[in-house]
Structure 1
């Protein structure tokens, strides 16, 4: 049973400060008055993360960042997490409180972005994402969220554009809306269907076993068995219906990390070995989980190329909004402009005759 404490709001406090409110929350969740040890977890640029340990039981407490619930649908996130637990694809949910969640702590470590091109990570992430796309059904999430409608990538971006502050990006809101409609028209002309995407598959949201060593030349996993993926995905706040190619292209754009090192992102070409291997694993994993062959590697890479620049549009607007909301120490303005420029460069390169 998941505890609900809608009136409990945890304050975001500096590292090293006391966490009495968190300790009380954990005791109420577990019904255990024994000591609770709280440890801060660094790495996120949206929320504050704390690890709570009571005896041998470890839980993650995620307090939502200031103002984030205005552009992140927390009810959708909760519904997605609930459905993922039924598929054994997410840790147990313990509690939802006024501005956050408590759920099981996943043992392991987050990857770092230079590791995303490692053959073990390529096979594990592609197989796990294929499992997500195959098993996490849009209709199941809709039922859990009902009567609230389940938004998608398009409705989310429409809302974000309305919230985007002036002066951060070169485009006006009207121009952004035109860009979105242009892209939507391109999508409608394709035959690609929607999946329930993760939509935030950056390195820190991919966990691997602590024992895995990216520097080792010894292969320790079966890369050809989709059911043996060592990757666990966390943080489902952006999970929503979206074109499959957007979710995959978004992951590849995260290979650049927060430093935006574009040299680490593969080109959407069939002769790129990393991209070719990733897509090949994904197609085989989809067949493993569904029995369906979704196409060839070349066909899928061609689909991805259409979406390659869209994540820059998506995260550029997101970061512009965060620049006026967040209290986390991060240069959101520069990140917004860098990611949005990524989209503009892609569009000029692929569609040179468009304005």
Structure 2
């Protein structure tokens, strides 16, 4: 692993930082001061093109998203040239490479030159072989069932929310 850049080696850099989602700027600047100490805080601008993306995990999302598996998939995709480089994780999120792109409108998606490129990339992603011990069966229905079970138990525990959902 390249400690200077966080790297995408076997061992992901983990920083002991928590970013408050209600006031993220301070935490993100703290994170970046550790990840990129050469960057000067006054010159860091949020939503400026080309640097890093900081993803904050929402509260309790770990109940239905396996964060370790998510990070592992980032690393697998990046190793196969199908995704951004992941730089580090932190207490409640990850920091990864910003990849510039455009949202494809319906008209563009119908163009053979575009949909063929998409199909080729999807083929590349689907040809990636899982590591031994990783599930090879589709997980969509299992994940949806788990999510719906969580939602149902959340609603039945909170009568005020239950009243809101019945309207």
What residue ranges of structure 1 are gaps of 5+ in the alignment? 41-50, 143-148, 169-323, 325-332, 334-355
Residue pair 1:79, 1:141 contacting (<8 A) in 2 also: no
**Aligned: 1:3 with 2:13:** yes
RMSD: 3.1
- Size of the aligned set, in residue pairs, is 145
Q: Separation in 2 of the partners of 1:112 and 1:65?
A: 29
**Aligned: 1:128 with 2:121:** yes
The 5-angstrom pairing of residues 26-45 of structure 1 reads 26-35=32-41, 36-40=43-47
Q: Separation in 2 of the partners of 1:4 and 1:81?
A: 15
Distance 1:164 1:18, change over 3 A: closer
Q: Separation in 1 of the partners of 2:24 and 2:71?
A: 28
Distance 1:161 1:18, change over 3 A: closer
1:85, distance to aligned residue in structure 2 (A): 1.6
1:99, distance to aligned residue in structure 2 (A): 1.4
Q: Separation in 1 of the partners of 2:95 and 2:142?
A: 28
| Counterpart position of 1:138 | 130
Q: Separation in 1 of the partners of 2:133 and 2:103?
A: 27
Q: Separation in 2 of the partners of 1:97 and 1:18?
A: 13
| Counterpart position of 1:155 | 142
Q: Separation in 2 of the partners of 1:123 and 1:107?
A: 20
TM-score by length of 2: 0.70
TM-score by length of 1: 0.36
1:118, distance to aligned residue in structure 2 (A): 3.5
What residue ranges of structure 2 are gaps of 5+ in the alignment? 2-11, 156-160
Q: Separation in 1 of the partners of 2:19 and 2:123?
A: 36
Distance 1:18 1:155, change over 3 A: closer
Residues 320-349 of structure 1: CA deviation (Å, up to 9, x unaligned): xxxx8xxxxxxxx8xxxxxxxxxxxxxxxx
Q: Separation in 2 of the partners of 1:165 and 1:114?
A: 39
Distance 1:158 1:63, change over 3 A: same
SS of structure 2 residue aligned to 1:110: coil
Residue pair 1:83, 1:141 contacting (<8 A) in 2 also: no
